C-alpha cells in the first residue's frame, strides 16, 4: 500500500498521525528523522496537488513531507504546482513520470542489450569460423624434387589412378607447385623437400600426395615406401603421414612408412581335429622409427612409437602391432 494515500487522508482531516499506532511509512512522510525511510516511494501527481493546495491555504503552518527534501523531481513538481496558475512544464512532467514508469526504460535497455550480445556472439562465431576455415582449407604447396622424378597421376574410374608421364608429358623434376587433390607416382628413386624442413625419400612405384593447411603439412601414402626426415616444427604446426589404415603424426623424427602386402598364416579347424593352414594376403602399413617419436592413430587404436621400434597396421586387425627393430 502506498503510504501517500494515508498521508493525504490524514492531511485532509487536519490532524497528524498518532506515533503509537501509525505505520512507520506514514510517520516518515511527516517526520524526516524517523528511522524508516520511504524515499523510494514517490507521491502521485494528485497527492502533490493536494499538498500544494494545503501549502497555499495553510501557509507556514504546513510542514513539508520529509520525502520532498530528498527527491528533487518531486520537489520540482511541488514548487511548480504552487504557482498560480501551475507552471508545470512538459520536461518536469516527463521526469516525474519516469519515477513511476521505470519498467519502460528497463524494457528498452533489455531489448537493446541482447541485440549487442547477439551481435558480439555472431562476430565471435564468424572469427572462429574464419580461423577454422584457415586451419582446414587446403593451400598450394611448393615441393622441390632434389633428385629423381615424379609423374602426376590421372584419376581413373572406381578411384584408380594411373601415372600421367608420357613422351609428351615427361616426369616432373625441380620445383613443382602442387595443387589441392593432386597426387604423384614416383618413377625413379627420389628425394623431395617440403616446406617446414620436411625431407621425403621415396622408392619407385610409390603413390604420394602432398597437402598443406595453415597448421598441418600432410603426406598421403597410398602405396609404396617412404622415409621422412622431419625437423622440429614451430608451435602449433604438425607434420603427419596419412595412410589407408591410419595416420602417423610426427613429433620431430626420422622414420619410414611402408605400404606392402604380406603373407600370413590362418589356422582353421575343419571339424576333424586336424588344423589346416593357408596363406592370406593382408595389406599392411609398417612404420619404422629411427629417431625421435611418432604418434599413430587408427579408428580402433593409437600408440606412440619411439626410436628403435616399429609398428605394423594390418587390415582386419584393430590393434597396432608394436615391436623392436631388428639390428
The residue ranking higher by pLDDT, 302 or 316, is: 302
**Which of 152, 258, 244, 284 has its CA nearest to residue 202?**
258
Q: In angstroms, what CA-CA distances link 40 with 21, 74, 100, 198?
A: 22, 12, 11, 74
Mean pLDDT is lowest, of 100-109, 159-168, 215-224, for 100-109
* Residue 85: Cβ within 10 Å count: 6
- C-alpha distances out from residue 213 to 8, 135, 233, Å: 79, 6, 14
CA pair distance 248, 232, nearest whole angstrom: 16
Cα gap 210→184, rounded to integer Å: 9
- 59-63, 145-149, 194-198, 223-227: which range is least confident on average? 59-63
102: cell is 521505470
Q: Alpha helices, DSSP H only, in 142-265?
A: none
Query: For residue 228, which of 256, 258, 264 has the smallest C-alpha distance?
Result: 256
* C-beta of residue 82 within 8 angstroms of C-beta of residue 56: yes
Residue 70: strand, helix, or coil: helix
Among 60-74, 112-126, 240-254, the range with the most confident prediction by mean pLDDT is 240-254
Please give the Cα distance from 64 to 52 (Å, whole number): 10
pLDDT of 34 > 60? The answer is no
Q: For residues 27-44, give the mean pLDDT.
A: 48
Helix axes 3-13, 45-58, angle to 10 degrees: 30
Task: Evaluate if residue 36 carries a pLDDT over 50.
Answer: no
Instruction: Tell me the domains of the chain and their CATH numbers.
Output: 3-100 (no CATH), 136-324 (2.60.120.1440)
Calculate the CA 152 to chain-centre distance.
38
Could you tell me the three cell numbers for 244? Answer: 589407408
Q: Which of helix, strand or coil describes residue 218?
A: strand
Question: What pLDDT score does 278 carry?
Answer: 45
- Per-residue pLDDT for 32 more than 50? no
Question: 302 is written with which cell numbers?
Answer: 593409437
> Among 202, 93, 58, which residue's Cα sits nearest to residue 143?
202
- pLDDT value, residue 192: 92
Residue in 190, 188, 282, 181 with CA at minimum distance from that of residue 227:
190
Q: Specify whether the CB–CB gap between 246 and 297 falls below 8 A.
A: yes
Beta carbons of 210 and 218 less than 8 angstroms apart: yes
Give the pLDDT score at 38. 40
Q: Residues 250-260: pLDDT tens digits?
A: 866 777 788 76
pLDDT of 117 reads: 61
Grid cell at residue 197: 624442413
Identify whether the C-beta of residue 10 lies closer than 8 Å to the C-beta of residue 26.
yes
Mean pLDDT of 291-306: 87
pLDDT of residue 206: 87
Three-state secondary-structure class, residue 247: strand
* Confidence class for position 244, pLDDT limits 50, 70, 90: confident
- Give the bridge partners for 185, in sequence order: 151, 207
Least confident of 121-125, 178-182, 294-298: 121-125
d(CA 32, CA 185): 96
Amino acid at each position: 500500500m502506498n503510504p501517500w494515500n494515508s498521508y493525504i487522508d490524514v492531511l485532509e482531516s487536519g490532524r497528524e498521525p498518532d506515533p503509537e499506532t501509525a505505520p512507520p511509512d506514514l510517520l516518515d512522510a511527516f517526520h524526516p528523522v524517523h528511522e524508516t525511510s520511504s524515499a523510494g516511494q514517490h507521491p502521485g501527481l494528485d497527492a502533490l496537488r493536494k499538498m500544494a493546495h494545503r501549502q497555499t491555504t495553510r501557509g507556514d503552518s504546513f510542514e513539508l513531507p520529509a520525502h520532498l527534501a530528498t527527491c528533487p523531481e518531486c520537489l520540482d513538481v511541488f514548487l511548480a504546482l504552487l504557482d498560480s496558475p501551475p507552471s508545470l512544464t512538459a520536461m518536469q512532467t516527463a521526469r516525474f513520470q519516469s519515477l513511476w514508469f521505470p519498467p519502460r526504460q528497463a524494457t528498452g535497455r533489455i531489448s537493446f542489450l541482447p541485440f549487442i550480445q547477439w551481435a558480439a556472439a555472431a562476430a565471435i562465431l564468424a572469427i572462429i569460423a574464419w580461423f577454422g576455415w584457415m586451419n582446414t582449407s587446403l593451400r598450394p604447396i611448393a615441393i622441390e624434387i632434389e633428385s629423381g622424378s615424379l609423374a602426376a597421376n590421372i584419376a581413373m574410374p572406381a578411384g584408380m589412378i594411373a601415372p600421367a608421364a608420357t613422351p609428351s608429358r615427361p616426369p616432373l623434376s625441380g620445383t613443382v607447385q602442387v595443387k589441392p587433390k593432386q597426387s604423384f607416382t614416383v618413377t625413379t628413386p627420389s628425394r623431395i623437400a617440403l616446406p617446414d624442413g620436411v625431407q621425403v625419400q621415396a622408392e619407385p612405384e610409390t603413390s604420394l600426395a602432398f597437402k598443406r593447411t595453415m597448421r598441418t603439412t600432410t603426406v598421403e601414402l597410398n602405396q609404396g615406401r617412404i622415409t621422412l626426415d622431419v625437423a622440429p616444427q614451430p608451435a602449433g604446426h604438425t607434420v603427419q603421414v596419412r595412410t589407408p589404415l591410419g595416420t602417423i603424426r610426427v613429433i620431430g623424427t626420422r622414420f619410414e612408412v611402408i605400404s606392402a602386402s604380406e603373407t600370413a598364416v590362418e589356422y582353421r579347424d575343419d571339424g576333424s581335429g586336424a588344423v589346416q593352414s593357408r596363406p592370406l594376403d593382408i595389406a599392411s602399413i609398417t612404420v619404422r622409427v629411427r629417431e625421435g617419436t611418432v604418434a599413430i592413430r587408427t579408428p580402433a587404436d593409437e600408440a606412440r612409437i619411439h626410436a628403435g621400434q616399429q609398428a605394423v597396421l594390418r587390415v582386419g586387425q584393430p590393434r597396432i602391432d608394436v615391436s623392436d627393430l631388428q639390428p
